[in-house]
Structure formats: C-alpha cells, structure tokens
Amino acid sequence: MPRPDADQSAHNRVQLDYYEGRKHADNKRVFVGATPYVNNHLDKFLSFSNLDAQHRILDIGCGMGKYTIPLVEAGYQVDGLDLSPRLLEELKRQAASRARIATICGDILNPDPALLGSYDHVVGFFMLHHLFDLQQAFKQIARLLKPGGQVTFLEPNPWCALFYIQITLAPTMSWKAEKGILNLTPGKTARSLEAAGFADVKFQRFGILPPAIRNTTAGAAFERVYDRMPMFRPVSAFQLVSARLEAAPVQEM
C-alpha cells in the first residue's frame, strides 16, 4: 500500500537538503572524475548489465553525471533523471563540452507520462537506498520500460560493515539520508522487483577498498585478488542487481 504523500515530500526534502544544502566540496562523492575506482565500477557494471549501444537508457538519480557522462562518452544513449535541479545544472555544465545528455528533473515515484514505455534499460548508481518507497519505485520504473526492458543498479552491500562505520563517522554523511541501505538485502530487493513484474533477478558483489586505496596500483592489485575469492563475496562492499521486465507494467489508477 502506497505511503502518504506528506511522508514522501518530507523524505524528498531530506534528500535534497543532503546534496543541495552543503558546500560544493562536500559533494565530492558525486563529482565526475575518471579515477581507477570509478572506472572499475563502470567496467563491472557494463560486464554485468550487457548494455547495448542501441538501447535508449535512463539513468535515475544521476546527480552531477558521475556515471551518466562516462556512459555517453562510451557511446551509450543515456538520459538523466534526478530530483535535484541544482545537481542537474552541474551535470549540464560538466557535460557541455563532452556529451549531449537530455535531463529530466523529477521524482521517479511520479514519472512524466510522456516517458512511459520509452526506455530499453533503466540504470542507477548508488541511488536505490535514497528512494522513499523501493517497491513503488520499481513499479514506476516498469512503466517507463518497453516490453522486455531491463534494469541494472549498483548499490552498497548492506552486509558490508564498512558502510555503517563510514555513515556514522563521516561528517558529510547522515543516517537520516542513507538508512535505505538496510532495505537492499537480496531478499527484500528481489521481492520488490518481482512484485513490480520483474523476473530473472541477479546479484553480483565485488570490491572492498575505499577510493584512496583502490586508486593506487597496489590497491587495485589487492582487490583483483580479493574479487577472485568466493568466501569474501558476501561481505564485499558493492552489489550489482539486474532484472528483466516480464509482466505488463503495473498501471496506476
């Protein structure tokens, strides 16, 4: 059952304040930058998702375009959707001389009717845990997809204790804005996707090092070895999630 609109508005205000209400430098986690850490995320994502250059793709929660811009530069057709007009303005500024990206400012829980049935693939990077209602979000995402469309997301792994330490100790992070990580266990995520008409739900986990270490040659070498060890996978830092739209999208009354 959908939660009250007032709660949704309050939730959205928390998320907007989280990214728009702090100094530009404090948003460094969403800056665009081709570091080894970010490139590794993209390489893992592309290998897992099987994105097609012919697909029309929507990146939800795209922010400043940290992943949107590199995907377009790699030859993919990607539109960006975000709740924050300020972050979208920064995306446009950074993409101006690099890539042409259509942007949509809005809430995925209330998608523009003109976009329904428009996309082959919906993607997201570290944004599912910022959504107000995960199951309702998946239902709305299903409405944006063409028949047989796919979704792929990259998110924190809720079984990795490092995220809880980071959220608690980092001065620019907040449990109020990040608590949705607790909803991203495989069981909860798969049930929410299946309730929205998705099938073939798959997960893959990887990585453990923070950016400052992963960006070094030694850190990259260590993590390549780490990722080959199945016993560590349950507590790896990141999880990829994919699914295919099987049923007809849920129609809103």
In this prediction, residue 19 carries a pLDDT of 82
CATH code for the domain defined by 5-245? 3.40.50.150
Using an 8 Å Cβ cutoff, are 152 and 121 in contact?
A: yes
In this prediction, residue 29 carries a pLDDT of 63
Residue 108 and residue 84: Cα distance in Å, rounded?
Answer: 12
In this prediction, residue 3 carries a pLDDT of 67
Average pLDDT per block of 10 residues along the chain, 253 residues long? 76 85 66 84 95 96 93 95 94 86 95 96 96 95 96 97 92 89 96 96 96 94 96 96 80 52
Burial class, 104, CB count within 10 angstroms (exposed 0-12 / middle 13-18 / buried 19+): middle
Q: What is the pTM of this model?
A: 0.92
Which residues lie closer than 8 Å to 90 by C-beta, 6 or more apart?
A: 64, 65
Domain spans in the chain, listed from the N-terminal domain onward: 5-245
Residue 126 and residue 188: Cα distance in Å, rounded?
Answer: 17
Sheet-wide strand order for 56-60: 103-105, 77-82, 56-60, 119-125, 145-156, 238-245, 198-206
| 3-state SS, residue 247 | coil
Residue 137 and residue 110: Cα distance in Å, rounded?
Answer: 9
In this prediction, residue 253 carries a pLDDT of 45
Using an 8 Å Cβ cutoff, are 191 and 240 in contact?
A: no
Strands 198-206 and 77-82: unpaired
pLDDT in tens, 146-173: 999 999 999 999 999 999 999 999 888 8
In this prediction, residue 52 carries a pLDDT of 93
Which residues lie closer than 8 Å to 202 by C-beta, 6 or more apart?
A: 48, 240, 241, 242, 243
In this prediction, residue 25 carries a pLDDT of 64
Residue 32 and residue 74: Cα distance in Å, rounded?
Answer: 15
In this prediction, residue 246 carries a pLDDT of 86
Report how far apart the first and last C-alpha atoms of the chain are (Å, whole number).
13
Residue 135 and residue 20: Cα distance in Å, rounded?
Answer: 26
